[in-house]
Structure 1
Amino acid sequence: MQHRCIEQALSSEKISKITRMAYLSSNAYKYADINNLPPKAIKRYKRILVYTKPEDKHHIIVVRGSMLLKRPQDLLMNINMKNVLYNEYRFHKGFFDEAVKIKKELTNKGVLEDGYTIDFTGHSSGGCIACILAMLTYESTNQVNEVITFGQPKFIKDVYGCPLNFTRVVNIADPIPILPIWDYKHIGQTIILDVYNQGNLPKLSAHDMKSYINNLVLDFMRPI
């Protein structure tokens, strides 16, 4: 099946994986409430969820995006746009610091074991953190498979030389992925969703994870 919004074809397997990652990224908000317990097969560590298939030796690590009303400290992370230099890459400091904390916790919990392949996903700022976390994990374990994000803003200044497979899914009317409007860049392949041929007139509602899921289903399932 050829996807309308990009030149190259997407396999049915890739479409299925992107759609699944969208639902998992939505679940990161659902299970952010400490009283809303996830299924036993899912491990929850503060900002992240870890889905594990031991028989396949595979993890999916899902990073929650910002929840400014319930967690105003997320705003401090988002606006901490100083540069931090790490291994020849310059990162958004707020997102980098959060990724470092998450990697330390996952390492201490034994999640980042050798032999497990890992996919990463996340929405909004969670997508930025997922990308950086994948880069940090690859450096130490070399077991990173793919990173798929939704509505992710910019987080890096130097995009050359990274061997990882990044896929960035963007609603065309979502204004958040253009931020910050100066200095920082995106990395990897971009898939743009424009279900209603609405053009790029910004709408904040287009950033909602529900909008991404709806548009994915509509865009991938409609005929060419």
Structure 2
Amino acid sequence: MNSQMRTLPPEIAAMFASIAYKTFNKEDFTSGTLYQGLKGQFHFDGNYLKGVSGSVLERIFKHTTPFGCIAKGKPGPFDGDFVLALRGTEKKRDIITDLHCGVNTCANGQPVHAGFNNTFNSLKQQLEDYFKLAASQSKTGLNIHVVGHSLGGALANLATNWLKKHFNANVKLYTFGAPRVGYPSFALKTVYATDNGIYRCVHAGDPVPLVPVWPFVHTEDEYILHGAPTITAKAHSMTEETPGYLHTASCFKSYAAINKGKESRLRRQVKLDYDKRLQARPTTRWARTIGEAIITHLHASGRLHAIQADISNTLRFTIKLQKC
């Protein structure tokens, strides 16, 4: 990675993750406080990325919606750097994408969430056109910061791998409340693609980073912006102040000041006692404990390997279809 490539501060990264939602309305985009706060350091060319999310019919008829924007750094600490900002779930069709939890392969050849990957594939030609031109005009290579919240964070993971493989770009990845995207092999490849330049920010009570469940996993390190462990939908908000990722990220000048955690890999052997079921609470600790108990039960019953085999067979069948 280019040693001169700086890291976006938490607040700036959160501002980009937030402004990606404003691409539905160009007037709203340029008149808001987010744009005013970023335009001093970054230039927006006004061209918004459009993608297809949702069902097979949405893809057949190519029903596109704005999915984000690209900015370029002005003279200063991020001079010449690009920022790719991708939005999260906004429409009903995005929810269908979130729920489409099959498996197919991404740019680095690893198994990933099919719904996320299908949506990212609808963005690739625009990214190809933009960064091909940018690469032809650059003498030192591409520095790209990829940012996203929720579904946008999942797309940012996929974009990071694709940009590294396709352009050999120097890439840093910043996500807020992102779901799990792929299998352990994908998470490992993502670490390699960024030279460990990954800033995966979460709220402890946000339910979205807890899904999809095994065998999907995150990259291991996480930055905990808000520590309240009770699971609540409010903890997933990007812009609300209770807690709101934009609000909590603005409290930290650097990632070094943020408490770090680790992704649970469901390694513990856990057996639940039915008689103590009323002790369960809607917290992240209990969510992980229940997940560990499910894997323990599947392993003890001999079903774990069968499920793994089914997933592998599905993946091989998908690969064959894609090669046809």
- The bucket for the TM-score relative to the shorter chain is 0.7 to 0.9
Q: Tell me the distance in 1 between the aligned counterparts of 2:29 and 2:188.
A: 40
Structure 2 residue ranges without an equivalent (≥5): 1-5, 50-65, 136-140, 260-324
Range 74-83 or range 180-189, more displaced: 180-189
What TM-score results when the alignment is normalised by the length of structure 1? 0.81
> 2:24 aligns to what SS in structure 1?
coil
Q: Structure 2 counterpart of 1:143, which letter?
A: A
Q: Tell me the distance in 2 between the aligned counterparts of 1:111 and 1:188.
A: 32
Does 1:177 pair with 2:203?
Answer: no
Question: After TM superposition, where is structure 1 displaced by more than 6 Å over at least 4 residues in a row?
Answer: none
Contact 1:25 1:62 (C-alpha < 8 Å) held by counterparts: yes
Q: Structure 2 counterpart of 1:136, which letter?
A: W
Contact 1:103 1:137 (C-alpha < 8 Å) held by counterparts: no
Range 162-171 or range 210-219, more displaced: 210-219
Report Cα offsets for 1:36-80 as digits up to 9, x if no partner: 34369323222011111265321100000011xxx2211121111
Does 1:22 pair with 2:14?
Answer: yes
> 1:156 aligns to what SS in structure 2?
coil
Shift of 1:109: 3.8
Q: Structure 2 counterpart of 1:213, which letter?
A: L
Does 1:91 pair with 2:83?
Answer: no
Contact 1:166 1:188 (C-alpha < 8 Å) held by counterparts: no
Range 169-178 or range 153-162, more displaced: 153-162
Q: Tell me the distance in 2 between the aligned counterparts of 1:112 and 1:82.
A: 34
Does 1:31 pair with 2:23?
Answer: yes
Q: 2:234 aligns with which of 191, 205, 212?
A: 205
Shift of 1:97: 1.6
> 1:131 aligns to what SS in structure 2?
helix
Higher Rg of the two aligned structures: 2
Q: Tell me the distance in 2 between the aligned counterparts of 1:166 and 1:112.
A: 26
Question: Which protein has the bigger helix share?
Answer: 2
What TM-score results when the alignment is normalised by the length of structure 2? 0.57
Instruction: Assess, with a 3 A threshold, how the Cα gap between structure 1 residues 48 and 123 changes in structure 2: closer, same or farther.
Output: same
Identity of aligned residues (%): 22
Q: Tell me the distance in 1 between the aligned counterparts of 2:172 and 2:81.
A: 12
Residue aligning to 1:10: none
Shift of 1:107: 1.5
> 2:223 aligns to what SS in structure 1?
strand
Q: 1:66 aligns with which of 82, 89, 95?
A: 89
Q: Tell me the distance in 1 between the aligned counterparts of 2:133 and 2:111.
A: 24
Q: Structure 2 counterpart of 1:108, which letter?
A: D
Residue aligning to 2:122: 101
Instruction: Assess, with a 3 A threshold, how the Cα gap between structure 1 residues 36 and 111 changes in structure 2: closer, same or farther.
Output: farther
Q: Tell me the distance in 2 between the aligned counterparts of 1:219 and 1:57.
A: 25
> 1:48 aligns to what SS in structure 2?
strand
User: Per chain length, whose mean CA-contact separation is higher, i.e. which structure has more relative contact order (CA < 8 Å, sep 6+)?
Assistant: 1
Q: Tell me the distance in 2 between the aligned counterparts of 1:34 and 1:111.
A: 25
What is the RMSD computed on CA atoms of the aligned residues?
Answer: 2.5
Q: Structure 1 counterpart of 2:250, which letter?
A: V
Q: 2:69 aligns with which of 30, 35, 49?
A: 49
Q: Tell me the distance in 1 between the aligned counterparts of 2:203 and 2:250.
A: 13
> 1:49 aligns to what SS in structure 2?
strand
Contact 2:164 2:171 (C-alpha < 8 Å) held by counterparts: no
Instruction: Assess, with a 3 A threshold, how the Cα gap between structure 1 residues 182 and 193 changes in structure 2: closer, same or farther.
Output: same
> 1:152 aligns to what SS in structure 2?
coil
Q: Tell me the distance in 1 between the aligned counterparts of 2:199 and 2:29.
A: 29
Instruction: Assess, with a 3 A threshold, how the Cα gap between structure 1 residues 169 and 88 changes in structure 2: closer, same or farther.
Output: same
Contact 2:88 2:153 (C-alpha < 8 Å) held by counterparts: yes
Contact 1:167 1:188 (C-alpha < 8 Å) held by counterparts: no
Q: Structure 1 counterpart of 2:249, which letter?
A: L
Residue aligning to 1:82: 102
Instruction: Assess, with a 3 A threshold, how the Cα gap between structure 1 residues 58 and 93 changes in structure 2: closer, same or farther.
Output: same
